[in-house]
Amino acid sequence: MAASGKHPILSSTPLQVLLYLNSWYFAAFFIAECLMFVYKGVVLPYPSPNLILDIVLLLLFLGLEILRLFYGWKGNLCERALAMSVSVGVLVPCTVLCVYYLLLQTFVLRMEFILNAILLCFYGFELILGLMSISTFSRASVYR
């Protein structure tokens, strides 16, 4: 595309790298969280409703994260502002869930704290780069 000289590539490479690594990191995070919930459920005195709430929220987290990563990936590669803004929009409930698992859970393990903190770092960088790429894509489409 850049060879033709007319269409410069607008997709953000750092954002793509972050999304790629984030998908791998979240897969490992999800497996680790499942195992930690098994451990917590066996060892710690959990009231049943709290455990069910945490597990349901984890599944919701998985769904939202897959949605966000997919829209971010495709939106960045196809240079579409709408898909990128959906991704940034879904980032908000994902951040809320991340903070929940970081601070507001019934029992927070140290490992969970660290893993969620790293995930929050990912979200911070992806938010900044996502907003920058949305502005790049929408500015370019005005002149097309």
Partner 1 sequence: MSVISSLVPARFLTLIAHLVIVITIFWSRENNVRASLPLQFTEEEYNEVDTRLVIALSVTLGLFFIELAGFFSGVSMFNSSQGLLSTGCHASASVSLLFFLFEQWTCDIYWWIFAFCSTGRPLQRIYLPVLLCVPEVGVLDLLVHFCLLQCDSSPCGAHPLHRCLWVKEEAPLTFRDLKTNRQLCHEVTTTTQ
Q: Nearer Cβ to partner 1, position 77 or 111?
A: 111
Q: Alpha-carbon distance 137 to 33, whole Å?
A: 36
Q: Whole-number minimum distance, CB 36 to partner 1, in Å?
A: 8
- Which position has the token pair 């393990």? 109
Residue from 1, 77, 111, 131 touching partner 1 (CB under 8 A): that is 111
Binding mask 21-60 for partner 1 (x = CB under 8 A): x--xx--x----------xx-xxx----------------
Nearest-angstrom CA–CA distance, 109 and 61: 18
Looking at the Cβ atoms of 26 and 137, the one nearer to partner 1 is 26
d(CA 134, CA 140): 10
110 makes contact with partner 1 (CB under 8 A):
yes
Question: Rule CB under 8 A: is residue 9 a binding residue for partner 1?
Answer: no
| CB 73, min distance to partner 1, A | 15
Cα(17)–Cα(7) distance, rounded to whole angstroms? 22
8 A C-beta contact, residue 73 and residue 22 = no
